[in-house]
A = this chain, B = another copy of it.
Amino acid sequence: MDFQLSDDQLAIQDAVAKFFQEEWNSDIRRDALDDGPVKISDEIWQQIVEMGWIGIAVSEEHGGSGLELLTAAMLAEEGGQVLFPSKLCTAFTTAFALDQCQSGDTAALLTDHMTGQQFVSLAVDEANGTFGPENNATAATLAGDGGTISGEKILVPDAECADCFLVAVRLNDSGALVKVAADAPGLTITAMQRIDGQSISSLQLADVPFSSDDILGGTDDADQVLLRTYEFWTTLISADLLGVTTKALEMTNEYAKVRQQFNKPIGSFQAVSHRLADVKVAEEVGRSLLYGACLALQENPDQCFPQVSAAKAWLSDAAAEATEAALQLHGGIGYTWELDVHLLLRQARSHAVYLGDAAYHRKRIGNFITG
């Protein structure tokens, strides 16, 4: 047994941190709050593609690096720390979905996605006031070699730069993922606006046509692929939340050491230091749960939901607590636009309710426990 990052993983982590440090600046996130969704420059994205990040956890047979899912989560966490947009999580997630599918077309699409030829996003959530792919009601009808999709998807990530979407639909009473091109007839993309300035859209689908080749991996185990994909995506967003938690704690901890009031660093007052200790506990527990979720996904992908929900529920709360503590303990300066505290808070709050909030995930666990 071994429940730690391997030396290889630690080396990758260092390299990723270094890349972000050199190439990314959180001011881009601040500016995006006024000027529309945040964009990763083509140059940075190209580097990411070239470093092979997108396929890092894709199986070797499909052209990826075949590393543990944990490695992708680790990258998502590093991204969260520096407020890198979660387009990275989107890219990992669609790569994962495509990797799970058997048909020849998806292999080509996966290659395009990993090599930056096409960017594939995915559309799952609907405006029914609740979470989870189970409540998916967007209907696809199939007649012969093709069919149409009608419905609305919301909270679709990175639609601006997507060439196509994997759309979760109901098809013959079972779930399916169908590929829809961004310029498909009948598809309207409307920008939504999220408090963290990240790209998020709604897709209106009005009799959008598709061919049977566009159905990922047949319809046989599509429900399972969809669910696994959702679990993986949720885990990546949890990793991002862990990064936000870590960064909020680190910023506040540093500030508490240098900020003087009453002739002492404020970190010497227990009102400050004990609250930070609680955040530290939340972070350590959160990291442990994230590792547990990654391991469950890797080894037991069709029964991993309790561990995934545990990580998402805990980290949704932990990131909110850590960023609110950061704001409060920074005092007035923490409440200003200039400091990154509110950027972290915005991302924490956005991701806390993305792909299921804490209450939703605790409900899943409640159902699991009580059988």
Contact = CB atoms under 8 A, between A and B. Distances in A.
Nearest to A269: B270
Contacts of A274: 270-271
Interface string A249-279: 0000000000000000000011100100000
Nearest to A274: B271
A270 B272 CA distance: 9
A270 B269 CA distance: 7
A271 B275 CA distance: 10
Interface residues of A, number: 4
Nearest to A272: B270
A168 to B, nearest CB: 35
Interface string A194-226: 000000000000000000000000000000000
A56 to B, nearest CB: 44
- In the complex, the count of this chain's copies comes to 2
Nearest to A271: B270
Contacts of A271: 270, 274
Contacts of A269: 270
Contacts of A270: 269-271, 274
A269 B274 CA distance: 11
A270 B273 CA distance: 10
A331 to B, nearest CB: 16
A274 B271 CA distance: 8
A86 B113 CA distance: 74
A248 B270 CA distance: 23
A344 B269 CA distance: 31
A62 B274 CA distance: 58
A261 to B, nearest CB: 13
Interface in A66-101: none
A271 B268 CA distance: 12
A344 B273 CA distance: 31
Interface string A269-302: 1110010000000000000000000000000000
A276 to B, nearest CB: 13
A279 to B, nearest CB: 16
Interface in A95-147: none
A274 B270 CA distance: 9
A19 to B, nearest CB: 41
A269 B273 CA distance: 12
A334 B73 CA distance: 46
A271 B270 CA distance: 6
A270 B270 CA distance: 5
A271 B274 CA distance: 8
A327 to B, nearest CB: 19
A271 B273 CA distance: 10
A350 B271 CA distance: 32
A274 B269 CA distance: 11
A193 B303 CA distance: 47
A285 to B, nearest CB: 21
A43 to B, nearest CB: 49
A65 to B, nearest CB: 48
A136 B52 CA distance: 70
A302 to B, nearest CB: 37
Enumerate the 5 nearest inter-chain pairs by beta-carbon distance, A residue then B residue, closest first. Answer: A270-B270, A270-B271, A271-B274, A269-B270, A270-B274
5 contacts: A269-B270, A270-B270, A270-B271, A270-B274, A271-B274
